[in-house]
A and B are shown apart, each in its own frame.
Chain A
Amino acid sequence: MQVLESGIGELIQPPDMNAFREWNRKHKNKALVDKMMSEQEAVSRFMFDGAYVGTELYGTVRCPMSLVRELIRQGYKDLRVAGQGVTELDILLATRRVKTLDITYIGNEVYGISANLRREVESGRVEKVVEWSNGGITWRFKAAAMGVPFIPVRSMLGSDTLKYSAAKVVECPFTGEKVALLPALILDVGFIHVHRADKYGNCQIDGIAGFAPEMARASKRLVISAEEIVSTDVIRAHPDRTVIPYYLVDAVVHAPYASHPGEMCYVHRRDEEMIREWVEEMKTPEGAQAYLQKYVYDPKNHEEYMDLVGRERLESLRYQKGGER
């Protein structure tokens, strides 16, 4: 199969599917063992400098904020990040420790462009930016989840998004038409926040699942935070609802309101006032550092973050029982 066009972006983590199989055999425990731990332990056990990390979310919804705040507290540097991101990647960029980006979208949606993205990329502190579409990056996770090195798609063709990606264009051996091949994306560490999990890591998500099923299967290490920890009986009563089975998971952290100041479908709405504070503070480097100090470094953990925000305030964001907003 002849390669007709190659994106000039760097392939940040070339896929090695045999190594991934070996990894999954050796490092992913198939026994039902208790994986409950503190966020401090979960992050320190699996993170390292230069790690290739990803977070799963949509907009400000279900962002694994408590884990990202802990990741920032522990000070890892030279991070490589795969990202569709709003609040959690904006804050990670504010730390100035992101070195390379596989980017699809980083911004503040209704509140506009991410000032941190602008500062970090325009200054060159983020050294490499490789472009993808949302479909593209999700399909890259899907390829890894399928256990194959690439996936053919019809997105990105003809665009600079492809030119500045690490995709390739080939002639389809079956139809003779051009098709884009996207390389599988395997993360060193993935972070996902879910509605409920048992202590082994079996997870349920309510509402849309974004790209959690694919990313969970494409992560060498997967750290889960959950609004609620439930008994395995709850999981076994509705096995069709398990979007992430335990054997994919390396750590389970109990973290209610972990997405704050964003929202969690059916659980709590987003904190509009604190999102506005965030966006305002992030406009200047000084503001960004002040924000990090106040909301990330000063509270030692998620419990202290919740104290800082205020338990009553968090409670007031909750939807009433029965799904009424």
Chain B
Amino acid sequence: MTTEYNPNELLICVASRLMEDNTTAFIGTGIPMLAASLAQKMYAPNLVAVFEFGGTGAILEELPLAVGEERTFHRAISATGICDTMETAQRGFIEYGFLGGAQIDPYGNLNSTVIGDHAHPKARLPGSGGANDVGSHCWRTIAIMQHDTRRFVPKVDFITTPGYLTGPGAREAAGLPPGTGPYRVVTSLALMGFDDETKRLKLLAVHPGITVEQVVENTGFELLFADEIGHTPPPTDEELRLLREEIDPEHLYI
């Protein structure tokens, strides 16, 4: 018998299980922070969290609300500045990077800048922030998205952060560091990866209670499928306890 959980709790758990021990991850505001904190407590005690405004190696005992606040360098290894962390990523030191966006396309390109035309936008969104840098320099990026056809679109209105751009070889042709790019997309319905040959989104596993058909219906383009579609294990009692009691007791995100 599994405890009840909400969609954000599931997203956080799935993202946290992707983190490896003894490596580096660029962490943004929101769900990635909770996922990193959960990972440190359960799966990856030596995960080095890097926050763009200068915190490296914080112990994430309490949930940071802002990307530069004190908890992002609580008992950290170093507290420097934005040039240092971005340059560290540019030198190839950062393995994972977490991203979000208002739109994603089959190649993992992300939009967080405008809906509609740039000169006369229907909706002006916050802009790149550190996302473009994370998506350019981290070896493997993980996007976390709500899953619906407004967000999963054939072509994003604006490429804020490069995924595989137009397909195989396009990142390298644009001058981006070879061997980098989108790795996973964690959505409210499923876990996805990218096909090695075509660099297009590929369904890897569906979340508890979700069917492949539901994923297809909520995706605005043709998906690829792994040979065997897996099933995401639901959040464990221990994951939920940590999230609710230690990481986000005030329920700001969950």
Contacts and interface: CB of A to CB of B under 8 A. Distances in A.
Contacts of A60: 65-66, 69
A94 to B, nearest CB: 15
A134 B130 contact: yes
Contacts of A107: 125-127, 129
B174 A138 contact: no
Interface stretch (B38-46, B132-140, B213-221): B132-140
Interface in A133-152: 133-136, 138-139, 142
A235 interface: no
B124 A122 contact: yes
B154 interface: no
Interface string B154-188: 00001111100100001100111100000000000
A166 to B, nearest CB: 14
A246 interface: no
Interface residues of A, number: 60
Contacts of B160: 131, 159-161
A58 B53 contact: yes
Interface stretch (B82-90, B192-200, B223-231, B234-242): B82-90
A160 B159 contact: yes
Q: Specify the main secondary structure of chain B where it touches its partner.
A: loop
A110 B252 contact: yes
Contact of B67 (A59, A157, A213, A265): A59
A314 interface: no
B203 to A, nearest CB: 26
B29 A117 contact: no
Given A131-B128, A133-B133, A155-B137, A58 B66 contact: yes
A154 B176 contact: yes
B120 A155 contact: no
Given A121-B121, A208-B54, A103 B81 contact: no
14 contacts: A59-B29, A62-B68, A84-B129, A86-B66, A109-B30, A113-B126, A133-B132, A135-B130, A154-B90, A155-B133, A157-B162, A209-B79, A210-B53, A210-B68
